[in-house]
Amino acid sequence: MRHRPRRNRASPGIRALVRETSLAPSHLVLPLFIEDGHDLASPIPAMPGVFRWSVDRAVAAAREALELGVPAVALFPRIPDALKDATGSAAADLGGLTQRAVRALKDALPELVVITDVALDPYSSDGHDGVVERGKIANDATLPRLAAMAVAQATAGADVVAPSDMMDGRVAVIRDALDAAGFSDVLICSYCAKYASAFYGPFRSALDSAPKSGAGIPTDKATYQMDPANVREALREVALDEAEGADWLLIKPGLPYLDVIAAVRAATPLPVAAYQVSGEYAMLRAAAERGWVDYDRGLLESLTALRRAGADLIFTYGAVDAARRLNG
């Protein structure tokens, strides 16, 4: 036989030389759940190994990740019910939890890339990413709230603001607000294709951010998050967000949407991010606890699949675990 593909698999050295897709700690972003308090590490039952951190402990967790080569964290706050209201007004508080965490992280670790989430759901008494008016998510009424939120995060020192709300036109409004406030160097990572997925359950439990049931309040997010059946629609969102000034584009969830990641990668020169979401992480952990899957190998294989599909960077709760394994 003249053609023996197995020759390229004969040894670890040969496999490394011809490997098509690389995965390194520098490709990863560690999401951090944060909460008020001091010296707190509250475990999240549905996500073994993941915690809600007080700000001081979040700094320590970020330092560990950075020392392992993970260059960035993304912050997600758990807000007490007493601070939530119908318009999510606490989101733009310069002394709020996210802003305090940003300042602490940048003071302690100036080289760390700090990414902040722009959406009202952690702050909303309705649990939605936008303002609810007469039983609907009011797109245009939400936009100035998101812009004020992004400016507050940039004022605290955020390197990247990441609108995950899926309101139409929000990237342009946020870009204009940031520029007007003197933050033209702050990047926007737009969740350009965030699907109405079943895989977000553990995340919403961690932040108590699920939509609340009540008279006139939608119980799901299907009117603004994307239909899981659609991919061409994602390309429309990409074109709009790119035109409005996005710097990065993010697809969420990850593994169930490899085709979307590949299509977006082919459609744009911008950096493409993928989010390996809480449900994906929880499935790996649950299977590993039962002895059905090797967690470390499964984690690296799934992250490599996201890279192979075209993701330049990956948000993953397994960032520290993966970095340890990649570093040997």
Distance, CA of 110 to chain centre: 21
The CA dihedral of 37, 58, 90, 128, to the nearest 10 degrees, is -110
Interatomic CA distance for residues 78 and 208, integer angstroms? 7
pLDDT in tens, 233-266: 999 999 999 999 999 999 999 999 999 999 999 9
Length in residues, the chain: 328
pLDDT in tens, 70-111: 999 999 999 999 999 999 999 999 999 999 999 999 999 999
Please say if 194 is a catalytic residue: yes
| CA dihedral sign, ordered 204, 205, 209, 212 | positive
Residue 215: predicted pLDDT: 59
216 has a pLDDT exceeding 80: no
Catalytic residue among 106, 136, 221, 252: 252
Interatomic CA distance for residues 173 and 151, integer angstroms? 11
Domains observed in the chain:
28-326 (3.20.20.70)
Q: Which two tokens stand for residue 91?
A: 């989101």
Please say if 252 is a catalytic residue: yes
Q: H-type helices in the chain, by residue range?
A: 12-18, 55-67, 97-108, 139-156, 170-180, 201-207, 232-244, 258-267, 278-289, 295-309, 319-326
Q: What is the mean pLDDT of residues 128-142?
A: 93
Q: Are 264 and 230 in contact (CB under 8 A)?
A: no
Burial of 191 per CB tally in 10 Å (0-12, 13-18, 19+): buried
**Which value, in Å, is the radius of gyration of the alpha carbons in the chain?**
20
pLDDT band at 290 (very low <50, low <70, confident <90, very high): very high
Catalytic residue among 84, 136, 194, 212: 194
Interatomic CA distance for residues 120 and 260, integer angstroms? 26
Residue 210: predicted pLDDT: 79
Interatomic CA distance for residues 313 and 298, integer angstroms? 18
Average pLDDT of the chain to the nearest whole number: 96
pLDDT in tens, 292-324: 999 999 999 999 999 999 999 999 999 999 999
130 has a pLDDT exceeding 80: yes
Task: Give the pTM.
Answer: 0.96
